[in-house]
Structure 1
């Protein structure tokens, strides 16, 4: 008969990322934890993970067992914690993965405000435009842009952004204004670093549906804020969130290019692994960050914000 304690140990090993870390958290020697997981594999007749000196990699059987059992273990653990802790305040470490420009949306000052209000919480930010592996990197919550959410993750949508083409008046005066999508291939376009062929493909919504256009340029950078500064500096045409450049458009520092083309209603999300109740520290951070990001005006909320009567 399968020992459910060994199943729980296996789930904790996966979440911890190693037998040593799981043993440290549970008060077990690492070799004891490894031996018990091996015994579980023997009972199930299936290898659950591939072991190496650097990391543990789940097999298909291991991934199925983790996906099917982690939810139940989390629910039982959370129920026990609620009984034991009552109305305990958020505490513990929260690891957050987000793009390099994340602090433009949630400023360090606002992060400090959260920490002052939650003195038992510690925050670790992993800022990179590369997509984080939540399970492999021990991430509690990640910020995602776009519809491509991994099937093992659960998402809370913050809001939307519309993405459009913009350029500075100086660039347009020097290079002319494109009159059609095909004209973009003759212009310097500011984008993320290119593929080996030296061009970037933009997929844009337009009057006739989605169109693809290959663009080139002499300045590429994988940071939205750097792309904004480059567009303001006249380096080319950029594809940017309209809410992030709204003030520049209103002030005339930037202008819309081919306004019928862009990317409509791109979702912004916080994603996480747990299916039901998150640790209090994680849920507190998500609620706070969502509210402050919406207040920043850099994204469009899911529902229109009601204006106070004059």
Structure 2
């Protein structure tokens, strides 16, 4: 048992990359933490980290040992929590990173429903545009839209969101409404900044026919919300997730164009750093999957 405790202490030091910060986080005296890690190195017979007055640096052996220890410690914590679930509802603080627009338009009412079901869970949400680092930052889960690019994380698919073309009534009155995807080449199209040509691929919903159109326009950027906002300001077409455009459609700022054609669905993932999830995180992911992709 003492070995497992020392492994857990070592993991906390590595995660913080500081004895002092780790000691503050877990409430153990700095001197005790240093002594226990030294005892662990002595028991193993290998140096796990280089210590200087300014920084810590893992040795090659320390990196290997950390990866093994972290899995063992995570499994031990999960086993303890799962037994506790027999007596109590999930509780604690759920820290999640959420995409701004999707959280505001779609996730907010679902989170309210989830919070009512699990009153023992408290919530800390980060809605900044940046992609948080789930390994070094204290987040339980990140909800991300679009294909996952990080092979080091565990991605759980929550939904595939349909997309369609939208434009403002004023833009359509001024520039005319396209009758087929090929007509988009003569229009202003708002899209993400691309290294090469901007190509929109549309699929006809009744027949499955696919058309790819190289479109262009004066504006290319990297914000979903800004793209949609510029479309409401009569600056061109936007290919948007229906759920994100719904309010603008209801209020008459946007209308769906070429309704028989749809764009590529946008996947929504729950990203975690490990497969071993505490109950609060597991329930949250399962709940979102059920609500976003019923059946």
Q: Normalising by structure 2, what TM-score?
A: 0.73
Counterpart of 2:285 in structure 1 is: 286
Distance apart, 1:210 and its partner CA? 9.5
Q: Distance in 1 between matches of 2:237 and 2:259?
A: 11
Q: Distance in 2 between matches of 1:58 and 1:257?
A: 57
Sort the Cα spacing of 1:183 and 1:205 in 2 relative to 1 into closer, same or farther, 3 A: closer
Sort the Cα spacing of 1:45 and 1:135 in 2 relative to 1 into closer, same or farther, 3 A: same
Asked if the contact 2:184/2:213 (under 8 Å) is kept, the reply is no
Post-superposition CA distance 1:6-38 (Å, at most 9, x none): 332222334556534432454322344345446
Counterpart of 2:257 in structure 1 is: 256
Asked if the contact 2:166/2:254 (under 8 Å) is kept, the reply is no
Tell me if 1:205 matches 2:201.
yes
Sort the Cα spacing of 1:130 and 1:52 in 2 relative to 1 into closer, same or farther, 3 A: farther
Post-superposition CA distance 1:247-297 (Å, at most 9, x none): 839x894133597673x2332111112323x222222332333344x2xxx
Alignment of 1:49-128 (within 5 A): 64-83=64-83, 86-101=86-101, 102-107=103-108, 110-128=110-128
Sort the Cα spacing of 1:180 and 1:284 in 2 relative to 1 into closer, same or farther, 3 A: closer
Q: Distance in 2 between matches of 1:4 and 1:118?
A: 32
Asked if the contact 1:168/1:254 (under 8 Å) is kept, the reply is yes
Distance apart, 1:145 and its partner CA? 1.6
Deviates more, 1:113-122 or 1:127-136: 113-122
Counterpart of 1:297 in structure 2 is: none
Q: Distance in 2 between matches of 1:279 and 1:191?
A: 39
Q: Distance in 1 between matches of 2:219 and 2:16?
A: 44
In the alignment of these two chains, the number of paired residues is 284
Sort the Cα spacing of 1:84 and 1:167 in 2 relative to 1 into closer, same or farther, 3 A: closer
Counterpart of 2:274 in structure 1 is: 274
Distance apart, 1:133 and its partner CA? 0.7
Asked if the contact 1:180/1:258 (under 8 Å) is kept, the reply is no
SS of corresponding position for 2:275: coil
Post-superposition CA distance 1:59-87 (Å, at most 9, x none): 77655444433233222222234445642
Sort the Cα spacing of 1:180 and 1:83 in 2 relative to 1 into closer, same or farther, 3 A: closer
Sort the Cα spacing of 1:183 and 1:228 in 2 relative to 1 into closer, same or farther, 3 A: closer
Counterpart of 1:222 in structure 2 is: 223
Counterpart of 1:236 in structure 2 is: 236
Q: Distance in 1 between matches of 2:4 and 2:25?
A: 18
Runs of 5+ in structure 2 lacking a partner? Answer: 204-208
Sort the Cα spacing of 1:190 and 1:279 in 2 relative to 1 into closer, same or farther, 3 A: same
Sort the Cα spacing of 1:200 and 1:216 in 2 relative to 1 into closer, same or farther, 3 A: farther
Asked if the contact 2:47/2:59 (under 8 Å) is kept, the reply is no
SS of corresponding position for 1:231: helix
Distance apart, 1:219 and its partner CA? 7.8
Asked if the contact 1:191/1:200 (under 8 Å) is kept, the reply is no
Runs of 5+ in structure 1 lacking a partner? Answer: 295-300, 306-310
Post-superposition CA distance 1:152-197 (Å, at most 9, x none): 222221110233433234313323456666954x6433345x58xx
Q: Distance in 1 between matches of 2:257 and 2:67?
A: 46
Q: Normalising by structure 1, what TM-score?
A: 0.70
Alignment of 1:114-193 (within 5 A): 114-177=114-177, 184=185, 187-192=187-192
SS of corresponding position for 1:122: strand
